[in-house]
Amino acid sequence: MDTSTKNPILKALDFIDKMLSKFEGVMLALGVIAMAIITILSVITRFIFNDALTITDELNMIFIVIVTFAGLSYAARNGRHIRMSAIYDALPTKIRKVFMIFISLITSIFMFILAKYSYGYIVEVYESGRILPAIGIPVFYVYLWVPIGFTVTGLQYFFTVVKNIREDDVFLSTNVRDGYSDSNNDMEV
């Protein structure tokens, strides 16, 4: 988002957007690196001792959940979600802009609804008292990433709505203008 405006609400949204971007990047990087290290350790212990460490499966499950739901938000931020756009691409720019605002708004609302339901599920898991046997931590800690991911993704789509209302161009996300290019690089904003 552009911080050149003097509107304090928009500046606050810009700040939140930047902090979420850093958070997503750290969580994705740490999650993928951790999964790689854990998987390599599992292969080594299986090869040397003919038995894998029990803890590796649970750790990989935790990092898969983190990477999946941090990645959901990352994809929304960078306009990387799959989209079926044959009809959309044939529309004039003004109509595409209206469509993008509508699509982003509905998607944002849907993500917040999913966050609410996933939170309800976490409460049920918490009340069940389930524990990961090898690690010994409550299972609900692992699933906390689900509503966090849905909420941050909902925010990303909401920011896309704001970006499309504020700007003349059509944006797939706060960082990506609508359109195709050979390089498909993100733009600097």
What are the residue ranges spanned by the domains of the chain?
8-166
Question: What does the pLDDT look like over 73-105, one tens digit per residue?
Answer: 889 988 888 777 788 888 888 999 999 999 999
Per-residue pLDDT band at 5 (split at 50, 70, 90) = low
* Alpha-carbon distances of 60 from 27, 41, 74, 182, rounded to whole Å: 14, 11, 20, 36
| pTM, two decimal places | 0.81
d(CA 137, CA 160): 37
Question: Residue-wise over 24-36: b if at least 16 C-beta within 10 A, else e?
Answer: beebbeebeebbe
